[in-house]
Amino acid sequence: MKNIRSIIWSMVAVLLIWTGSVQSAQVLTVPTADLAGPGTLELDYLYHRGLHTVRLELGLHPNFSAGVKQEVGGRLYATVKALLAEETAEWPGLALGGEFSSGRQDLYAVLSKQLGAPHVRGHLTWGLGRYARGMAGVTVMLNPVKVNANVPTTSLFVAYDGQGLAGGLQAQFSPELQATVGLDLSGGLSAGMRYKLAF
């Protein structure tokens, strides 16, 4: 346990040394109403609860993205997400999505909304398959105004993914690169990276 704490604090220190604006297509494993922008390709890696997952998402239209997701040693999924309503000052953003593999379909609707304070954002997800228990996530931007170009834009997150509660940090190193480090209540370490490429 002492080694895990040392690793976590080391990763947090590394994250706080870099640069970037955090907008994420998910809060750890909880989807948001955000999509990969048109003409962009996002490549994600996530380690969470002992499972390695790689995801590729292609922004095909301002309101539609599609991709593939591979659980290492497990299922391969085709993924889609459609934005039905953009987030406004009064109303949350609404998106519908799905993950499809042979013998399994996970469908969801997600609402994302800024919650009063300028840098607090919430997400609620409900659906079928792995989304049937509901999911929720909140992000709080810790340093919305960059004073030093060498310090990343960093957000604190708390997420419930239908199985348990997790929390941690998301940091944007650059417009292309984001990293996540977290811990769930069962004591498991989560870590992830996202790389975005425009074409």
| Two structure tokens written together for 61 | 């239209």
What is the rounded distance in angstroms from the CA atom of residue 113 to the CA atom of residue 87? Answer: 6
Each of the 199 residues of the chain gets a pLDDT tens digit; together they read 455 444 444 443 333 333 233 356 788 899 999 999 999 999 999 999 999 999 999 999 999 999 999 999 999 999 999 999 999 999 999 999 999 999 899 999 999 999 987 789 999 999 999 999 999 999 999 886 666 677 788 999 999 999 999 999 999 888 899 999 999 988 799 999 999 999 8
**Assigned token pair, 131:** 């989304």
- Burial class of residue 195 (count of CB atoms within 10 Å of its CB; 0-12, 13-18, 19+): middle
3 state DSSP class of 47: strand
